[in-house]
Amino acid sequence: MSVYQRREQETLYRFDALNQKISFRPIDRPNSTTVILLRSMGLCSSSEDKAEAAKTKEIDKQISADKADNNKTIKLLLLGAGECGKSTILKQMRLHHKKFSEDELAQQKSVVFNNTINAMVEICRFMAENNYPFEKEDRKADVDTLKDVLKQAREHEPFSQSTAAALKSLWSDTHVREFYKQHKLIYHLHESTQYFMDRLDRICQPDFTPNSEEILYTRIKTTGIVEVSFEIEKAHFRVFDVGGQRSERKKWIHCFEDVNAIIFIVAISEYDEKLAEDHHTNRLVESIRLYEQITNSRWFVKTSMIVFLNKTDLFREKIATSKATISIAFPDYNGPHEFDESVDFIKAELLKKQTGGTTKKQVYFHLTCATDTNQVKLILQSVISTIIRSNLYKTGLY
């Protein structure tokens, strides 16, 4: 129990003097001057005074200790629009400092099963919508097998023999693979799709338990607040990931005004995609709009911003294979359809969103691929070192 909770639970101090009731609540605890006055009025005995003084000293000591501990704790807020890669970055932070336990790995099995079946059904649905045939006609029976699993809400369960056979049969179909390769960017099929399909033999084993790398590729909507804690260089870190969907943002913004820095993630590969919530708003435009709200919020006026320009692997692929430039999101862009120039323009758009007193706020940019463990590890080391130095400087210890 914290010192503040103890104070709330303490008994009210009540004194009667000259028929006037004087009440002190914990927040109004009498100071030494008041105690002397009360003693002169005959309201406190010396033994009571000593006991009260000892108790007050103990509480003040605890307050000082709590404050010192709080100064050693570095709080980071992980923000970004839905499906930008926040949860994957949070998993990378966790893996960087502490491996997943056996229980945690086992709990992720159902997510792998769910992601795998839904990804295959989604591919087949888009094939049907485009009248794109299977290599073999009997593949339709395999699709029906997977749809039955979804209808019975068994997609979180280990694969039965028939389910495993249907998945392997469909992924072995040349036309399924061709369709996925040609249309994955057009239909925004999740990047984990091929990863899990290429590991069907392993995933379909009865004793399958995902490893740390496989967990990085799982996807599940974040609702509420997820926290990861770890220690580096004697500093205690607390990282908070909150739900990114529009309807959840107003619930948490005021709760984190004391964070040391915000890691804001922007999926730059989404420059030609629309939001799942309304199908009209450009995903990258929405992400930058959220950044503008956060960086200019009165709660984060002095909070440093660390921006991860994420999903660079998919962005490079789109630049190389698609004729659609970032002018889809930014009509003013008339530069070349090249990676570096496009990234520089996106950075400039983000920096332009800072207004008023936040123009001198520190903003650090990093290009990331959230599933690239080695790359993210190096970036996190750099980010964490920067934050530790900044925190020591602010507290006068650097």
What string of pLDDT tens digits covers the 398 residues of the chain? 544 444 444 433 333 433 444 444 444 444 544 444 444 444 445 676 777 777 666 665 555 544 445 556 889 999 998 889 998 999 988 887 778 888 888 889 999 999 999 999 999 999 999 999 999 999 999 999 999 999 999 999 999 999 999 999 999 999 999 999 998 878 888 889 999 999 999 999 999 999 989 999 998 877 777 888 888 777 788 998 876 555 556 666 777 878 989 999 999 999 999 887 777 899 999 999 999 999 998 888 888 899 999 999 999 999 999 899 999 999 999 999 999 999 999 999 999 998 755 456 788 999 999 999 899 989 988 888 888 777 655 555 44
> What's the pTM value of the predicted model, to 2 decimals?
0.75
Q: Is 168 annotated as a binding residue?
A: no
Q: Is 105 annotated as a binding residue?
A: no
Active site residues: 83, 88, 219, 241, 245
Where, residue-wise, is CATH 1.10.400.10 in the chain? 109-209
> What is the assigned CATH class of domain 109-209?
mainly alpha
Q: Is 184 annotated as a binding residue?
A: no
- Give dist(CA 110, CA 361) in Å, integer: 43
Longest dimension (CA), the chain: 99
DSSP 4: H
Q: Is 87 annotated as a binding residue?
A: yes
- Residue 173: count other Cβ atoms within 10 Å of its Cβ: 18
Where, residue-wise, is CATH 3.40.50.300 in the chain? 74-101+224-388
How many CA atoms lie within 13 Å of 191's alpha carbon, on the beta-carbon side?
22
Q: Is 82 annotated as a binding residue?
A: no
Assess if CATH 3.20.20.140 describes domain 74-101+224-388.
no
Q: Is 138 annotated as a binding residue?
A: no
